[in-house]
Structures are given as C-alpha cells and as structure tokens.
Amino acid sequence: MFTRESPSKGPNSPRVVGFYEKPSGSIQYVVIDEATKKAALIDVVLGFTPSEARTDTAAAQEILDFVKAEGLTVEWILDTHPHADHLMASAWLKEQLGAPTAIGTKVRDIAKLWEGFYNTPGALDPDRDFDRLFADGETFMLGDLPVRVMLSPGHTLGSITYVVGDDAAFVHDTLMHVDAGTTRADFPGGSASELYDSLMAILALPDETRLFVGHDYPPVGDRTDPAWEATVAEHKAHNKHLGGGTPREDFVKIREERDATLSLPDRMLYALQVNLRGGRLPEAEDDGKSYFKIPANTF
C-alpha cells in the first residue's frame, strides 16, 4: 500500500501517516501524538470486491501492523461520515483493539434516510453501533492533543471534520487535492451550497493548517502518485474549484455540472447498509450468512 508521512511540527502538532487504498481511492490515516504515543485511526477501509460481495481485512491489517511496529496505543477509531465508496473497518478494528468508535451525531438523520431506501425501518441504529456520536463544536483528547469537531455537510448531511492540535485537519470528502478541486455533493442529503459553506469554514482555519483529504484518483495532469496533503494557504491560492476566491454561485454551478456527469460508486448500495451499522454486516440469517439488500431502480 502506498504510504506517506507528515511529521509533527512541534508540541501541539500531530504526526500523520496516510495509507492509500487503491481499489476505492481512499486515504486512511494514523494520527499520532508523539509525546504519548497515543494514536487515532481515521476512515480505515474494509476491503470489498463487488463482483463477489466479498469482504477482506487486508488494508486494515496493514495499519494494525504499523501501529504494533511503532509501539502505538490506539485511543480512537474515527470516521468522518458513512462512506459511499468503501466499507468502513471500524467494527473489526474495535474487535482487535478495544478502542471506541466514533462518528458525527447527524449520522442518525442519514440512517433514517437510508432506512427508507432499503425499506428496513428500525434496522439502522447509530446509537447502538457507535460508541460516540460527536456534535458540532465538541472536543476530546488524543493523548495530550486537543481535537475539535466541525460539522461539514454538503457531501453528506452529517459529515464532520476533525481538527487535531494546532495544525492538522481531516477534511474527508469536502476538498480533493489542490489540482483536483472538491468532491461531489449529489448523494441523498447532499448539497453543493452547503458544501461551499463547509469549505469556507475549513479555509478559515489558519493558513499553515495541514488539510488531509479523503480521496485521490491519479493520474491527475502530470501527477501519477496519489496526493492528500496541502495547507489552507495552498488551497486558497491554487485549488482547482476554489483558488482565488470563487464566489458561491460559480462554485455551485461548477459542482452541480460536474456531479451530473458522475455515476454512483459501485460499492455505494453495499456500503451504506454496512457503514450505518458501524462497519457491521447485516444480521446473519438462519443459515448463518449475511445478505445485502439492494434497492432496484431507485437511483
């Protein structure tokens, strides 16, 4: 797996190691407080092969191997939103590590929305399947580092950003790398206008803040390797969709026109029924097997 490290810049700055999961284009993060060797895992992927509806833990195990080799203690298993393009490994990671899982409080609203699409009333219960649901503005600690939660809707109605210490923010599916722009806002509950507001709040962080995005899909231009880190200042100056101060109306037009050309991710209808269960497969039936429920002719 392709990895890249962003070193700590000082006492209130985390060390960040990103792991690129090529099949879904996802970046998974290990966020480390160097003073205490405490760590958080963010948006770790449960492998999935759609053609066989088969899961695997290869990507998550590689991250566990790194954690062990580095002598880290995992304090948190975090997700930024219920992902549409990959299954989350949070439940499996909790089985291995015992650390609590967490996501944003508005995942309750996303669960209600998708219970309607799946016709499974009462089946999706985030309060049951996550240990912590973070509200906008809530804070918690990672070792000696403070972490602040920002509600960042637009891609989904319940996406959150984790701002760790003085200079790192995990901005998930809002921004892409500077040369790729921003991410889509056309999923159920999404909004390009709300995404713009979320992006403006993220870009109001200090200019030196490192922003870590959730996805990359190289090649992009002449770049062949995945990239996922840039500062607030770099995005404000050079982001493909926002650089130079794009007005709201122009951004919404760019984003909605782009989104109209995109197909749904091939894992989406599988992923939401797992991710809204905290990374758990649907309950096994009387033969001991789990079954996905896929709505036909809905999207």
283 lies in a domain? Answer: no
216 lies in a domain? Answer: yes
For the domain that residue 247 is a member of, what is the CATH number? 3.60.15.10
User: 232 φ, ψ to 5°?
Assistant: -55, -45
Are β-strands 15-21 and 132-134 bridged in parallel, bridged antiparallel, or unpaired?
Answer: unpaired
Taking the C-alpha atoms of residue 176 and residue 214, their distance in angstroms, rounded to an integer, is: 7
- pLDDT tens figures, 233-290: 999 999 999 999 999 999 999 999 999 999 999 999 999 999 999 999 999 999 999 9
Question: Which pLDDT value is given to residue 20?
Answer: 98
Taking the C-alpha atoms of residue 242 and residue 199, their distance in angstroms, rounded to an integer, is: 9
268 lies in a domain? Answer: yes
Torsion, Cα of 44, 2, 31, 109 (10° steps): -30
245 lies in a domain? Answer: yes
Domain of residue 157, residue span? 9-272
140 lies in a domain? Answer: yes
Q: How many residues does the chain have?
A: 299
- pLDDT tens figures, 203-234: 999 999 999 999 999 999 999 999 999 999 99
173 lies in a domain? Answer: yes
CA distances from 125 to 53, 121, 149, 273 (A): 23, 10, 21, 11
281 lies in a domain? Answer: no
Taking the C-alpha atoms of residue 199 and residue 251, their distance in angstroms, rounded to an integer, is: 11
**Cβ distance 290 to 282 under 8 Å?**
yes
Query: Domain total for the chain?
Result: 1
Helix 248-259 with 192-202: angle, nearest 10 deg: 120
Helix 268-275 with 107-118: angle, nearest 10 deg: 130
Task: Tell whether pTM > 0.85.
Answer: yes
Q: Write the DSSP assignment of 202-248 as a string of letters.
A: HTTS-TTPEEEESB--S-BTTB-S---EEEHHHHHHH-TTTTTT--H
Which residues of the chain carry a pLDDT beneath 50?
none
282 lies in a domain? Answer: no
